[in-house]
C-alpha cells in the first residue's frame, strides 16, 4: 500500500480486512521513515539540526528537479515554502513542528514536508556524512522512526 498521508483514513478498513480474511499487506514506509530521520536529526539539535537545515536548503535550491519525477502525485505550493534563510534561523522545535505530520499543529507545513519527502536524494548524495549523522544521533532518530512505524502504521493495521 502506497497512498500518501491519506492512507491513515483507510487503516481501519484494512485492519478489518486483514482480520476477516487472514490476509497480509505490505505497507511502504520508506518515505515517512526518511522524514522521521530528518525529524530526529533536527530534534537532536546541534550538528543534527544543522544537517537537517542543509538538506532543506539543498532541496529548496533544487526543488524543480527533485519534484519533476513526482509531479503527478505531489502538490507543493511554493509560496508556502520558507526560504533557507528563514529555516536557518529556526530552533530545533520550530523545524520539527514544521515537518512532523501533525495536521492540527499550526506550525505544520505540508509543503515543506512534501519537498523534503522528495528530497531524499540530497541526503543520498551526502553519503557517509549523512549516515554518520544518523549514527551520532541514533537514539533520537530511532525513537522517531520506531514511533512512526509502530504507532502510525503497524498498530492501526495489525493491532487495531
Domain count, the chain: 1
Whose CA is closest to 33, among 67, 2, 77, 68?
Answer: 2
18 located within any domain: no
pLDDT in tens, 117-157: 999 999 999 999 999 999 999 999 999 999 988 998 889 98
20 located within any domain: no
Range of the domain at 124: 35-147
* pTM metric for this prediction: 0.89
28 located within any domain: no
For 136, the grid coordinates are: 551520532
Instruction: Return all residues near 130 (Cβ < 8 A) that are at least 6 apart.
Output: 51, 123, 124
* pLDDT beyond 90 at 26: no
14 located within any domain: no
102 located within any domain: yes
Amino acid at each position: 500500500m502506497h497512498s500518501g498521508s491519506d492512507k491513515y483514513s483507510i487503516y481501519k478498513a484494512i485492519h478489518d480486512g486483514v482480520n476477516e480474511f487472514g490476509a497480509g499487506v505490505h505497507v511502504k514506509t520508506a518515505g515517512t521513515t526518511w522524514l522521521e530521520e530528518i525529524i530526529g536529526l533536527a530534534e537532536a539539535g546541534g550538528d543534527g539540526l544543522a544537517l537537517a537545515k542543509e538538506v532543506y536548503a539543498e532541496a529548496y535550491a533544487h526543488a524543480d528537479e527533485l519534484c519533476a519525477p513526482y509531479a503527478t502525485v505531489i502538490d507543493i505550493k511554493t509560496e508556502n515554502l520558507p526560504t533557507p534563510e528563514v529555516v536557518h534561523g529556526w530552533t530545533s522545535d520550530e523545524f520539527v513542528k514544521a515537518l512532523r505530520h501533525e495536521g492540527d499543529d499550526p506550525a505544520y507545513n505540508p509543503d515543506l514536508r512534501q519537498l523534503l519527502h522528495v528530497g531524499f536524494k540530497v541526503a543520498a548524495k551526502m553519503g557517509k556524512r549523512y549516515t554518520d549523522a544518523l549514527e551520532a544521533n541514533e537514539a533520537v532518530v530511532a525513537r522517531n522512526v520506531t514511533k512512526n512505524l509502530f504507532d502510525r502504521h503497524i498498530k492501526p493495521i495489525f493491532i487495531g
